[in-house]
Amino acid sequence: MKVTDTQTPEIKIIEPTLFEDDHGFFIESYNQQRFEEAIGYAVNFIQDNHSKSVKGVLRGLHYQLPPKA
């Protein structure tokens, strides 16, 4: 995530990082830790992702065990 300060300290330009290959792309559009570091205070929103695959691509399924299930 790229964070750019503006002339108004409370306003920042936040640009997600795009990871792209022949199968499509993935964007971590929000990450709580990075966002809080950028704005300087805590928020209650964890993470948001976006991806797109080209026709015929099946993305992997992920399985997690507690405590992060």
Tell me how many domains the chain contains.
Answer: 1
pLDDT at 4 (0 to 100): 92
User: Sorting pLDDT into bands at 50, 70 and 90, what band is 30?
Assistant: confident
Domain range for 48: 2-53
Q: Is pLDDT at 59 greater than 80 in this prediction?
A: no
SS3 26: strand
| Residue 59, domain member (yes or no) | no
> Of residues 46 and 53, which shows the higher confidence score?
53
Q: What's the CA gap between 34 and 55, in Å, rounded?
A: 32
User: What is the pTM (predicted TM-score) of this model?
Assistant: 0.52
For residues 43 and 50, the answer to whether their CB atoms sit within 8 Å is no
Cα three-residue angle 64-66-34, rounded to 5 degrees: 70
Other C-beta atoms closer than 10 Å to the C-beta of 63 total 5
| Residue 69, domain member (yes or no) | no
> Of residues 45 and 41, which shows the higher confidence score?
41
For residues 1 and 14, the answer to whether their CB atoms sit within 8 Å is yes
